Structure 1
Amino acid sequence: MTDSSPSRTDTAMEYPIDLVAAPLIKLSDMAPRREIRTAGEDWTGITSSARRRKLQNRLNQRAYERRKASRRPASIHPGQGSRPRYASLATTDAPDAPGSPSVPQKLAVIKSPAGCTPGSGCVLLRPGAQGALRQFVKKAYEDYVLGCPQPWYLSTLIQVNVFNALVQNGFTLGFSDRWQKKGVISPFSIIGPLQSCDSYPLNLQPTALQRTVPHHPWIDLFPIPQMRDNILLSFRHLDMDELCGDLLDVKPGLEGKPSLIVWGDPWDTRGWEASPLFLQKWGWMLGGCRDILQATNYWRQSRGEDEILF
């Protein structure tokens, strides 16, 4: 008797699977794992229950702080949230930042006069780098929207945010777009009538040293007056290119290098944090800068990390 039952192949051809109607199962990472920032925080595969529980508690606390911050209105005060702003790429041809103090006119950034050598300055965005940066930020944002941010983006985003913060502070000070070039000198140190700076945020108003020591304008953009003075006092012995590279070199794969981190408004010292490696290498630069040292410990505590004893 011949077996008339259809073969597996015949069945597949006669009764094709309805892929459109098939239910879709959404796959996603476990919520706590989305908070992992370094390989050392991944608790999966760890056999020690105590170590695993410690890491899980840290990630759960981080997730809680992020959710709590997302429900709050934005504020200039560090105590009102602990979530950093997501990076975008500012450009020097943008208008003044919304909400920034008004300035009567743009300050021209002057070429260095003959005989004056304020240092080579810091080329904050090397030629050809802006296009690559835009692609990186676009990709990072798309992954963020899709709910699959990549941990390795973090180190690059930190530098992008610092760059953006300095650009925004340049807008706030009314600097022309030439402040990023080499061979220019800060308008604050130009001999001549002093322009009133009362309209600037307090932390960006030039110090007496900025008024008298010729320097590149990128130094004016840090919202930490004593840090600016410390840089100027050590100007002749400081490798500005090395400092600029640590803070603003936005190439991927530069994890574990000294850095500053921006969490809030760029002109507010309380929204900045210094990484342990930055303090180890450049700590002298923050001597007397009590505000950022306090802010650093605030942000560390908000992530469940230990305070740094200065």
Structure 2
Amino acid sequence: MSWQERIRLDEDWTGVTDPALRKKLQNKINQRALRARKRRDRQEALVLQSKNDRADRPRYALLRPRPDPVKRPTTLSEAVTMMTRFSIAARERYYAADPCLDQLFTLSKFNVLRAFVDNMAALGLSIETMGEDDISPFSTDASRNRNSAIVPASLFPTTTQSSTPHHPWLDCFPIPRMRDNLVKAAESFNDCELCTDIMDPTNGDIGMMVWGDPWLPQNWEVSELFVQKWSWVIQGCPEIFIHSNYWRARRGLKKLQVSSM
């Protein structure tokens, strides 16, 4: 800053002949310049300190080697046990400020499994009713349907569910038409393969994801590969595309197309 820029109109000493007044004005200008320089130095020191603080912070390794492959659960009770263990481990890392991106994929599977467990509870079902040969009580006990006033509307058994014997895990999908498609297909598809593609696919593309209360259809999302492989399951379910595209858009992904079915 030049001396001309530092001078205010009432401090212009260029035409002052009185030595004392001239010196007083010059001192005033110099003191103001000194204060401005000190303010600038303090600001630069704060910026430098902030950079040093960031450099000194510990950097957490978000990507960790994958642990040795674990045995996949063969029953729902085993899956729930594994889900509980994972929940505890994830919370411990969160509270220790030691996150791990490698857990994100597992977390997505965890959310889907938890969704089925929560919907199972909402239907008044238990893990014990999920054996390989168990039949949905909604298709064998008419009184159970009449006493289902507390069941969320999206999970309330359809006429097809009530009249056709089927495995109770199919009752846990919150989209009625999807449940009907599965129940009508009966033994014509491999339900174990469907379950694997939904929650633990080998291709790494989780078939379904759940983003909120699992009894609300709008919180469910299907993947592109799931649409291609299991198109008949979601036949006549346009809402699943609407909901899925909403969640995909939030992650910057392209829309699913009905034509891909």
TM-score interval, smaller chain = 0.5 to 0.7
Higher relative contact order (CA 8 A, sep 6+): 1
Residues 199, 208 of structure 2: 8 Å contact kept: no
Residue 303 (structure 1) aligns with: 251
Residues 185, 216 of structure 1: 8 Å contact kept: yes
- Is the aligned partner of 1:151 residue 2:182? no
Which residue of the other structure, out of 164, 172, 190, is the alignment partner of 1:221? 172
Residue 59 (structure 1) aligns with: none
Superposed displacement of residue 191, structure 1? 5.2
AA in 2 matched with 1:265: D
AA in 2 matched with 1:286: I
Residues 155, 255 of structure 1: 8 Å contact kept: no
TM-score of the aligned structures, taking structure 2 as reference length: 0.66
Deviates more, 1:134-143 or 1:256-265: 134-143
Residue 27 (structure 1) aligns with: 58
TM-score of the aligned structures, taking structure 1 as reference length: 0.56
Higher helix content, 1 or 2 = 2
Which residue of the other structure, out of 185, 192, 206, is the alignment partner of 1:234? 185
Which residues of 2 match residues 154-165 of structure 1 at below 5 A? 154-165=104-115
Work out the CA distance in 2 between the residues paired with 1:180 and 1:157. 23
AA in 2 matched with 1:124: L
Deviations 1:11-70 (A, max 9, x none): xxxxxxxxxxxx9931236xxx98x9xxxxxxxxxxxxxxxxxxxxxxxxxxxxxxxxxx
Deviations 1:161-186 (A, max 9, x none): 11111111111111244222222111
SS in 2 for 1:150: coil
AA in 2 matched with 1:271: N
Residue 135 (structure 2) aligns with: 185
Work out the CA distance in 2 between the residues paired with 1:171 and 1:259. 22
Change (3 A) 1:172 1:148: same
Percent same amino acid among aligned pairs?
Answer: 37
Change (3 A) 1:255 1:152: farther
Change (3 A) 1:255 1:156: farther
Work out the CA distance in 2 between the residues paired with 1:256 and 1:161. 16
SS in 2 for 1:261: strand
Deviations 1:181-216 (A, max 9, x none): 222111110154452433321110111100011011
Work out the CA distance in 2 between the residues paired with 1:255 and 1:148. 28
Residues 199, 206 of structure 2: 8 Å contact kept: no
- Is the aligned partner of 1:124 residue 2:76? yes
The count of corresponding residues between Structure 1 and Structure 2 is 194
Residue 257 (structure 1) aligns with: 205
Residue 173 (structure 1) aligns with: 123
Superposed displacement of residue 236, structure 1? 2.0
AA in 2 matched with 1:269: P
Work out the CA distance in 2 between the residues paired with 1:166 and 1:130. 10
Superposed displacement of residue 246, structure 1? 1.9
Residue 29 (structure 2) aligns with: none
AA in 2 matched with 1:123: T
SS in 1 for 2:56: coil
Change (3 A) 1:213 1:130: closer
Change (3 A) 1:157 1:255: farther
Q: Supply the RMSD in Å over aligned alpha carbons.
A: 2.7
SS in 2 for 1:164: helix
Change (3 A) 1:231 1:189: same
- Is the aligned partner of 1:198 residue 2:149? yes
AA in 1 matched with 2:76: L
SS in 2 for 1:288: coil
Which entry has the higher C-alpha Rg, 1 or 2? 2
Residues 119, 172 of structure 2: 8 Å contact kept: yes
Work out the CA distance in 2 between the residues paired with 1:171 and 1:132. 18
Residues 227, 285 of structure 1: 8 Å contact kept: yes
5+ residue gaps, structure 2, are 1-52, 64-73
Which residue of the other structure, out of 228, 236, 240, is the alignment partner of 1:292? 240
Superposed displacement of residue 146, structure 1? 3.8
Work out the CA distance in 2 between the residues paired with 1:144 and 1:171. 28
SS in 2 for 1:183: coil
Residues 77, 127 of structure 2: 8 Å contact kept: no
